[in-house]
Structure 1
Amino acid sequence: MPRRYEIPGAFKAAIKREPNGRQTVSTQDFVTQLAKVNWNWSLHEANQWIEHYVTTFKDISPNEGENRLFMLYNPNGGL
């Protein structure tokens, strides 16, 4: 049974840290983590959730489509 409080945890589990310290998450990785907690979302649904609830990641997708790539950024310019 899916539980709404597990969605943010699935997002955090999908975050990948690159060797240079950059943190990214792809929509496909998020959907995969959601499936582990019984949420069966499409890429479109996952993108809608990210756009609505996540303010610290920006879209840096190199290609068009639903499997987007988001990167953690500091909106305060590092201050």
Structure 2
Amino acid sequence: MPRRYEIDDAFKHAIKISSKGRRTVTTEDFVAELAKRNWHWGLREANRWIEIYVNTFSDVSTVEGDARTFLLFNPNGGL
């Protein structure tokens, strides 16, 4: 049975860190991590959760659609 705290855990495990230290999450990676924890969401549902519950990542997608990319930002200046 899926548990609510597993969603937060899946999001944390979906974060990728670049060589420059930037942290990004793609909707596809988040959905894949959710599936490992027995949560079966589509891209749209995953995007909705990120928009509602995660306020430290902003959408930096370069294409239209549900396959989005989110970047950790510093609200006190700079990315």
Q: TM-score, normalised by structure 2?
A: 0.96
| Structure 1 runs, 4 residues or longer, greater than 4 Å off | none
1:33 aligns with 2:33: yes
Measured after TM superposition, the shift of residue 76 of structure 1 is 1.3
The separation in 2 between residues aligned to 1:55 and 1:18, in whole angstroms, is 20
Aligned-CA RMSD value = 0.8
Q: Which runs of 5+ in 2 are unaligned?
A: none
Counterparts of 1:38-77 in structure 2 under 5 Å? 38-77=38-77
Letter of the 1:37 counterpart: R
Q: Which runs of 5+ in 1 are unaligned?
A: none
Measured after TM superposition, the shift of residue 77 of structure 1 is 1.4
Letter of the 1:75 counterpart: P
- Residue number in structure 2 paired with 1:15: 15
Q: Percent identity?
A: 64
The separation in 2 between residues aligned to 1:4 and 1:61, in whole angstroms, is 27
Measured after TM superposition, the shift of residue 37 of structure 1 is 0.4
Q: TM-score, normalised by structure 1?
A: 0.96
